[in-house]
Amino acid sequence: MAYRREIAIVLLMVVLLGGVWLLVSRVESANNGAQTQFVTEAVHNAALTCYAVEGAYPTSLEYLRTHYGLAYDQSRYMVRYDAFASNLLPEITVTELEAGR
């Protein structure tokens, strides 16, 4: 009888640990998505600030880094910044790199 009780306790602990692991995984995934959104907004806001100050969108991310203090973890995020014309908002895409996880 005591043997069955010990097995039940061990199984309960395994189920609880599995639930905690699943919860932590979901929270981490949601956090990564929020950080990617934060980087996207930072690039967007820097481009808008440049347009407001200079009357034209910058042609590169390097310009935003140098003149407007844009900073993000380049080893963790890949930012695609496609500037078509100086008067059109560039297309901004941020992707989290696998190595950053």
Domain that includes residue 48, residue range: 2-100
Residue-level pLDDT at 19: 75
pTM above 0.85, yes or no: no
Across 33-67, b (16+ Cβ under 10 Å) vs e yields eebeeebbebbeebbebbbeeeeebbeebebbeee
At 29, the pLDDT band (50, 70, 90 cuts) reads: low
Residue-level pLDDT at 100: 45
What mean pLDDT is reported for the chain? 86
Query: How many domains does the chain contain in total?
Result: 1
For 49-71, write each residue's pLDDT tens digit. Answer: 999 999 999 999 999 999 999 99
For 68-85, write each residue's pLDDT tens digit. Answer: 999 999 999 999 999 988
Nearest 10 degrees: CA dihedral of 15, 19, 25, 30? 160
